[in-house]
Amino acid sequence: MDPLNRREYRIAPSILSADFARLGDEVEHVLAAGADFIHFDVMDNHYVPNLTIGPMVCKALRPHAVRPDGDPAVIDVHLMVKPVDRIVPDFAEAGADIISFHPEASDHIDRTLGLIREHGCKAGLVFNPATPLTYLDYVMDRVDLVLIMSVNPGFGGQSFIDEALVKVADARKRIDAYAAASGRTIMLEVDGGVKADNIAAIARAGACTFVAGSAVFGSRDADCGYHGVMNKLREALAAA
Ligand code: DX5
Ligand code: ZN
């Protein structure tokens, strides 16, 4: 296997596009179809102009987030909230595995990264389309995941911004250089407008984890649920 884990691809359906009246079932069905992570978008109508779900819903979904082999599935919390720190312990308590935040939303980025890890979670930094990767410069040791936004945050169903591929490639270089020096791998995730027809290009740019909301939850098949769309995404990745 590639020592830097670059080929260990993970698909993270965003439940933002799921049926909110049946969230537990939606999580179970998408995991049955082979999802690796459950991507959990938290919006506060302040940092972003939309309002979604919080720690209570995370806690309610935790028992439903089980992989077909019986292991717990990773709940990948994407915080689009400001301030950040107040809500971090609540998500850790609610069963989040990864907690990512936008550097512009925290007054003390290093402190927030430390807070997330102190609560036993992996810490992620999220980069909006116009946010420079320089926020990573002095904190690589405290980052477990880099999330590149390929849309402006706030809504599902937007179109992929192609410039994000350049940023993914830049982030891949930083992560590989850091891995070579430290022996530690950092996940590289992409979020927004990911579909079966662009996922291979995103993988070739260097991403290993792919958030897909509308592409997955907009493709439910009456007979086989989400297997069809998940297989399509996997096939496209296999050809990358
Ligand atoms: C946008 C969210 C995304 C969103 C992706 O702010 O962070 O996770 O759900 O949805 P699609 O895949 O439909 O662009
Ligand atoms: Zn997201």
The domain that holds 180 is classified in CATH as 3.20.20.70
10 Å CB burial of residue 26 (0-12, 13-18, 19+) is buried
Kindly give, in sequence order, each residue whose CB lies less than 8 Å from that of residue 2, ignoring residues fewer than 6 positions away.
8
Q: Which domain holds residue 130?
A: 3-238
Residue 218 CB less than 6 A away from ligand 1: no
- State in Å: Cα 65 to ligand 2 middle: 17
* pLDDT tens digits, one per residue of 122-133: 999 999 999 999
176: left (phi over 0), alpha (psi -120 to 50) or beta: alpha
Contact 178, 171 (CB under 8 A): no
For residue 79 and ligand 1, the question of a CB distance below 6 A is answered with no
Amino acid at 163: E
Q: What SS3 state is found at 99?
A: strand
207-222, pLDDT tens digit by residue?
999 999 999 999 988 7
- 191 in active site: yes
pLDDT of res. 180: 97
Q: How many separate domains does the chain show?
A: 1
pLDDT by 10s per residue, the chain, length 240: 344 344 589 999 999 999 999 999 999 999 999 999 999 999 999 999 999 999 999 999 999 999 999 999 999 999 999 999 999 999 999 999 999 999 999 999 999 999 999 999 999 999 999 999 999 999 999 999 999 999 999 999 999 999 999 999 999 999 999 999 999 999 999 999 999 999 999 999 999 999 999 999 999 887 778 999 999 999 999 999
Catalytic residue among 2, 36, 41, 44: 41
Instruction: Say if ligand 1 is within 6 A of residue 214 CB.
Output: yes
Q: What is the pLDDT of residue 220?
A: 84
Q: What does pTM read for this prediction?
A: 0.96
Cβ–ligand 1 contact at 105 (below 6 Å): no
